[in-house]
Structure 1
Amino acid sequence: MSSTSQPLAQTKSAVLHRDLHRQTLEIVEAQGSYFTLSNGRRILDASGGAAVSCIGHGNLQVQKAIADQVVQVDYTVSLFFTNKPAEQLCRMMIDSTAGSMARVFIANSGSEATDAAAKLARQYFLELDPPQPQRIRFIARNGSYHGNTLGALSISGHKARRAIYEPMLLPNISHVSACNAYRGLAPDETDESYVERLADELDNEFQRVGPDTVCAFVAEPIVGAALGCVPASLGYLKAMRKICDKYGALLMLDEVMCGMGRTGTTHAWQQEDVVPDIQTVGKTLGGGYLPIAGVLASNKVIDVLDKGTGQFVHGQTYQAHPTVCAAALEVQRIIAADDLLANVKLMGEYLERALRNKLGDHPHVGNIRGRGLFWGLEFVYDRQAKEPFPVTLGLALAIHDEALAHEPGIMIYPGTGSADGLQGDHVILAPAYNVTKVEIDMIVQALGNAIDSALTRLVTAGKTAT
């Protein structure tokens, strides 16, 4: 047998995986809510990968849309040409905002979308009449994650992901506290006073750096990977909008992980009726069928560019790729035709109840939070003190491994840093929008078993804190 025909398990990988010392499992088939590993095991995808697969895997309609588009027009250079799928997709996205947004830039990933959004914010102030070239700063939040390019990572506030790149990151970014009621709400505070305190903190940060130097405040309405599905407190987005308006800065909302239906409405900001000036979307835009993300620009921003140069000084080789847009367009059509957002709301409520009934009193489940089909669980060593497990323990990853290893196997999304940016384990559940009650019951039961198995294994290994 030649080296090229050997099973992957018997050959040395040429892929630069994220962890060179960890065995990476091979998926050989994906259908519906399940994928099949090379060893024959079927795994229920309870997290949509990284909250990506919103209509499940292997959808024949999306496959046909991709195939048909490749035959018709496979690629166009966006500097000179447009294409029908891109035009239709962007129109659908703008219509989903009821006219609040005006134009869409189609990128290839959430990280690239963040970079494009930051550039757009800067250009907006250069084209104002009169221009404000001194605006070069951005304010974001601790415990945030906006992408892995150096620009997007600079805006991000996740300590562990920034750590080794700190000397290379942009100096014109500052961070304020996250809106995380579980960790940030004081014992004597109401939600209203908590939001007021965070608004004062943002106001003070504008004053500290110079209010006329800030392009935008950047926030995730529901923080995904970095904190594990932490929703903003009621009134928070409105308070942040007010501070931005006070100082003439833009409000930029990152919905790459929580947007395009994941929380029960097409856009998460629609649940608090706070329209951003610039918005990023990603993952569930294309449902994982092909790489795609987007930047939505408001009428306010586009009007300034239209009266100015009429250009966006930014571009990418594969922006608005026709085949990619055709795939995303079909995904969004399926969500609308099958009324899947109604199922997101219904099954989201069912998932919340199931999680709280099963794990609400678990001694090491500190917090269960989320919205729609986007739920996170944060783990603590001591519930009363909210003390996290040592980061060296690797609890979230251990729970993930146990969830995969046992029957029925499920895929969940593990994360760390939810307590202080370094410590704090959490896992995310983000099943497909067409998930069923039977599948949710299976997910919750399997997750509970995985949590207990991981804790037992780590205790037996003598690794837990005493």
Structure 2
Amino acid sequence: MSSLAHSRSYADSHIFHRSLRKKPANIVSGQGITFTLSSGRTIIDASAGPAVSCLGHNQPTVIEAVTRQMQQISYVYSMGYTSSSAEELASLLLSQKPGGLAKAIFVNSGSEATDAALKLVSQYWIEMGQSQRTKFIARKQSYHGNTLGALSVSGHASRRAYYEPWMSHNVSFVDPCYAYRGKADGESDVEYALRLRTQLEDEILRLGPDTVAAFVAETVPGTTIGCVPAVPGYFVAVREVCDKYGILLILDEIMCGMGKTGTMHAWEQEDIRGPDIQTIGKALGGGFVPLSGVLATQNVFDAVSNNSGTLSHGHTFQAHPTACAAAVEVQHIIGRDNLLKNVVVMGSLLQQSLEESLGSLPHVGDIRGRGLFWAVEFMRRPSTGDPFDKHAGYSNRVVEVSQDLGLNILGTLGDTGEYHVEHVILSPPYIVKAEEVAEIVRLLKTAIQLVDQELDHVEQQVEQHVRPSL
């Protein structure tokens, strides 16, 4: 589209939209797992936005909770003040001290949570008298947020590209645990996990163990490589290496956590005691009001409390009472309706349906995930491990065709690094029903088949064009 055409298509909007290639559709209402466009079309929200709307759209009791809070007090400044809703949410999440996590910081976006976690680590080591620990290790093809701090520990190539001059130089990267593309021929899961453990430990030794502050990882990576659970034993090895050298472990569960994989915390399925610091968001408040958080162990809290006594970080809208009230009700609904069980049951059905319906399609390479957090990775030739070209746009075309059919899913978000990953993500709300799972998979299969037909047509035209005349 020409720049003039772009300008005309946005002439009636004063919003600087994220994508300027196509005018965004206007959502006017939502109900259950669907939303309705201004055109009157209804779309199944099979990804819950970017894995946010865990309770779907339009929950009356959340509206009531928000209204009650606003009738009492809408805003509380977190410097010197607190609110009942913020205290209740923290207690709801941490009263049982999962994995030793005992204290919460509530902010707005996931990116803010990452920045807060990084700054908390830095302050922790200063309070502990080890100010030389300033280096962070993260993973390639990871994504932790879009602020400059969060991008600095993100291994997302295209999202970092414009801002490389601003990226921190105290961050280094190791490989992700991505068995489908990362395992060597003939390598077992045990051998693969051991190789990644050795790589992490070698990087710590290269940097100097007493200079490393933390290792940062998504428990189940989301948009960069698509819902990839670690091989068994990987996080056990990571936890052991961090403990060996006294390094803090930060687990990012902004996208994969708060029930999405079938347990409240994704790390609960990794046979570890938990992280030292965890970031949460998205499903924390279900998208009703922006909210994310940082969870920290008692040891991390004590380092600050027993020394300076001040958290050297804060936001105007930190622990916003209205957002916390919404999240309290979201978490109450999840517990009241036993929705984590539904995540497990419907997740198993989704896995089975995806494998049975899509497994034999010519460009489907891998189907993976946990709970209600699943991805389908596409390859040019799955049998030979030949990926699509970076400019092919296969998965984005699947997303476009799916939307035309009435299905909202997530696709590949740019160039994420060494492995070009063409995938789509399905992360339906926790309230999804069996018949809705069937319809989601049916529509996705239809979309993939239509894109395959387009691809076949293009290739036939190219073949005819280059074939020498007789």
TM-score (norm 1): 0.94
Contact 2:114–2:150 at 8 Å: present in 1 too? yes
Residues 319-351 of structure 1 deviation map (CA, whole Å, 9 limit, x = unaligned):
100001000110010000100000000111110
Q: Is the partner of 1:76 in helix, strand or coil? A: coil
More deviation, 380-389/316-325: 380-389
Contact 2:89 2:324 in 1 (8 A): yes
Identify the residue that residue 439 of structure 1 maps to in structure 2: 436
Match of 1:89 in 2: 89
Aligned mate of 2:424, from 403, 423, 427: 427
Residue type at the aligned position of 2:372: L
1:411 aligns with 2:399: no
For 1:4, the equivalent position in structure 2 comes to none
- AA matched with 1:345: V
Partner of 1:221: 219
Matched-pair contact (CA < 8 Å) for 2:155–2:417: no
Q: Is the 8 A contact 2:259 2:340 kept in 1?
A: yes
Larger CA deviation: 53-62 vs 296-305? 296-305
Q: Which residue of 2 aligns with 1:65?
A: 65
Are 1:364 and 1:381, in contact at CA under 8 Å, matched by a contact in 2? Answer: yes
2:447 aligned with 1:455, yes or no?
A: no
What corresponds to 1:74 in structure 2? Answer: 74
Deviation string, structure 1 residues 45-76 (Cα, Å, up to 9, x no partner): 10000000111100000011111111110001
Query: C-alpha displacement at 1:300, in angstroms?
Result: 1.8
> SS of the counterpart of 1:393?
coil
User: Could you give the per-residue CA deviations for residues 83-134 of structure 1, whole angstroms, max 9, x where no partner exists?
Assistant: 0000000111113544611100001011000000001111111111xx1010
Paired residue for 1:268, among 266, 269, 275? 266
Report Cα offsets for 1:250-285 as digits up to 9, x if no partner.
000000000000000000111123210000000000
1:171 aligned partner: 169
Q: Distance in 1 between matches of 2:353 and 2:294?
A: 35
1:334 match: 333
How many corresponding residue pairs? 455
Q: What residue is the counterpart of 2:385 in the other structure?
A: 386
Per-residue displacement from partner, 1:185-216 (whole Å, max 9, x unpaired)? Answer: 11221111110000000000001111111110
Could you tell me which residue of structure 1 aligns to residue 311 of structure 2?
A: 312
1:415-458 C-alpha deviation (Å, 9 max, x unpaired): 15688447221110000111100000000010011111123224
For residues 463 and 433 of structure 1, do their structure 2 counterparts lie closer, same or farther at Cα, with a shift above 3 Å needed?
farther
Shift of 1:460: 3.1
Q: CA deviation at 1:164?
A: 1.8
Q: 2: CA distance between counterparts of 1:465 and 1:245?
A: 56
* Equivalent residue letter for 2:451: A
Matches of 1:97 and 1:9 in 2, distance apart? 52
**Structure 2 portions without partners, runs of 5+:** 1-7, 464-470
**Contact 1:78 1:317 (C-alpha < 8 Å) held by counterparts:** yes
Identity of aligned residues (%): 49
Secondary structure of the residue aligned to 2:412 is strand
Query: What letter matches 2:40 in structure 1?
Result: G
The CA deviation at 1:21 is: 2.7
What is residue 354 of structure 2 aligned with on the other side?
Answer: 355
With 269-278 and 322-331 compared, the bigger mean Cα shift is at: 269-278
Q: 1:465 to 1:267 in 2, by over 3 A?
A: farther
Aligned residue type for 2:348: E
Corresponding position: 1:14 with 2:14: yes
- Residues 1:47 and 1:206: Cα distance change in structure 2 (over 3 Å): same
SS at match of 1:70: helix
**Structure 2 CA distance for partners of 1:99 and 1:361, relative to 1, 3 Å:** closer
Partners of 1:239 and 1:168 in 2: CA distance:
32
> 1:11-57 deviations in whole A, cap 9, x for unaligned?
52211111223121110111111100111011111000000011110
- Alpha-carbon spacing, 1:191–1:417, altered in 2? closer, same or farther (3 Å): farther
Distance change in 2, residues 1:379/1:10 (3 Å): closer
Distance of aligned partners of 1:30 and 1:162 in 2 relative to their CA distance in 1, 3 Å threshold: same
Q: Is the 8 A contact 2:151 2:167 kept in 1?
A: yes
Aligned amino acid, residue 82 of structure 1: T
Deviation at 1:10, TM superposition (A): 8.9
Structural RMSD (CA): 1.8
Equivalent AA in structure 1 for residue 444 of structure 2? L
Correspondence list, 1:176-325, <5 A = 176-274=174-272, 275-325=274-324
Find the counterpart in structure 2 of residue 120 from structure 1: 120
CA distance in 1, matches of 2:98, 2:161: 40
Q: Over residues 213-260 of structure 1, what are the superposed CA-to-partner deviations in whole Å (9 max), with x where a residue is unaligned?
A: 111000111000111101111111110011111111100000000000
Question: What is the match of residue 344 of structure 2?
Answer: 345
Q: Single out whichever of 90-99 and 187-196 deviates more from structure 2.
A: 90-99
Matched with 2:376 is 377
Q: Which amino acid aligns with 1:105?
A: I
After TM superposition, the runs of 4+ consecutive aligned structure 1 residues lying more than 6 A away are: 463-466
For 2:271 and 2:325, the matched residues in 1 are separated by 30
Alignment partners' CA distance in 2, 1:463 and 1:244: 54
2:44 corresponds to 1:44: yes
Tell me how far apart the structure 1 counterparts of residues 299 and 59 of structure 2 sit (CA, whole Å). Answer: 38
Q: Which moved more, 1:418-427 or 1:443-452?
A: 418-427
Rounded Cα–Cα distance in structure 1 between residues aligned with 2:79 and 2:461: 57
With 72-81 and 411-420 compared, the bigger mean Cα shift is at: 411-420
| 2:411 partner SS | strand
Once residues 193 and 76 of structure 1 are traced to their aligned partners in structure 2, the CA distance between those partners, rounded to angstroms, is 52
- Is the contact made by 1:33 and 1:57 (CA closer than 8 Å) also made in structure 2? yes
Question: Amino acid of the residue matched to residue 74 of structure 2?
Answer: D
Give 1:459 deviation, angstroms.
3.9
Does structure 1 retain, via aligned residues, the 8 Å contact 2:77–2:317?
Answer: yes
